[in-house]
Amino acid sequence: MDYWIDTHRTYSPGPKVNFPLIHITSQWETLESILKEGFRPSYCTEQLTNGKEVKLACFPMVSLSNMSISDAIQYQKSYGTFGIALDKKFGEENDFNPVLYLEQKSNLTNEIIEAFKSIKVSTVIELERIVNGVGDGYRHLLTRSILKTFAHSKNYDGKIVRNETLYDEYYPFGLEREWRKIIINDSVPYFLTGDNIKHKKIFNENISNIRIDFKLEHIKGIIVESQFEQNAVKEIIISKYNLSTFPKKIEVRINSTRHIPDK
């Protein structure tokens, strides 16, 4: 078929696709708790490397991924088979922010690691005051900027480990399109390093009462594995929001990834 190319033709940007913010988990009981109470933050170990050195830190956070329900089911199986999808407005209203993904060998990665290493404070109390916005001197502003940039940074590719098992040396974290909320609370450290990382379970107990809940209008979909769980989800939502019927706009999808047909 013969054709010619109209080099003068231009196009406006295509329609905007608003993918939800999704949290995937491995247990029904965890999803049930999220539906009833909201998200419970926890200290998560994050690492940033430039290929020469690795910097580890634990931040108290809640993580979501900006993708479709189908993509979450397909590509985030290592995190679990249950989940909840919320609209982007939930993230905007609750101080979630997209993660800054960094190529390991880029100059920007080197700069962020060097800046993190350069932080000098006299006491832990001073550091917490800086994070919480107390003090507006140049050094305080710079330190706060370094800490919060590091807290929202991640290598685009890196090792993915689940239950102390290495699944992939070069897992493309960047494709997860993570949104992250870091908890800022006077009663807990903004981050853990060194030996404190080994004791993060203890620090998690100190934030066990914090919840990030959502409104009914934020819920776009819920992922379960069985008809029983599907019905339980509807009962939880009806009870929590004092409804007479379950909203039709909320999709409750059964994830068949682990289903094994009866012989």
Question: Per residue in 62-121, pLDDT tens?
Answer: 999 999 999 999 999 889 999 999 999 999 999 999 999 999 999 999 999 998 887 766
Q: Does the structure show a pLDDT above 90 at 16?
A: no
What pLDDT shows up at residue 192?
A: 87
Model pLDDT for residues 116-164, shown as the tens digit of each residue:
887 766 566 676 677 666 666 777 778 888 889 999 999 999 988 777 7
**Backbone angles phi and psi of 52, in degrees to 5:** -110, -40
Which residues pair with residue 197 across a beta bridge? none
Relative to beta strand 100-102, strand 153-155 is parallel
What pLDDT shows up at residue 13?
A: 84
What pLDDT shows up at residue 141?
A: 79
CA distances from 173 to 73, 75, 95, 159, 176 (A): 16, 11, 21, 9, 6
Helices 28-37 and 227-240 cross at an angle (nearest 10°) of 20
Q: Return the ∠ at Cα 186 (arms to 185 and 188), rounded to 5°.
A: 70
What is the SS3 assignment for 102? Answer: strand
> The tokens of 52 are what?
């020469």
In this prediction the pTM is 0.88
Worst-scoring range by mean pLDDT, 132-146, 183-197, 203-217? 132-146
Which residues pair with residue 44 across a beta bridge? 59
**Backbone angles phi and psi of 29, in degrees to 5:** -60, -35
What pLDDT shows up at residue 135?
A: 63
Q: Does the structure show a pLDDT above 80 at 180?
A: yes
Model pLDDT for residues 224-256, shown as the tens digit of each residue:
999 999 999 999 999 999 999 999 999 999 999
Enumerate long-range contacts of 71-77, CB under 8 Å, 24 or more apart: 72/22, 72/24, 72/223, 73/223, 73/253, 73/255, 73/257, 75/175, 75/176, 76/22, 76/24, 76/176, 77/257
Residue 213 to residue 194: CA distance in whole angstroms = 32
Model pLDDT for residues 21-63, shown as the tens digit of each residue:
999 999 999 999 999 999 999 999 998 999 999 988 899 999 9
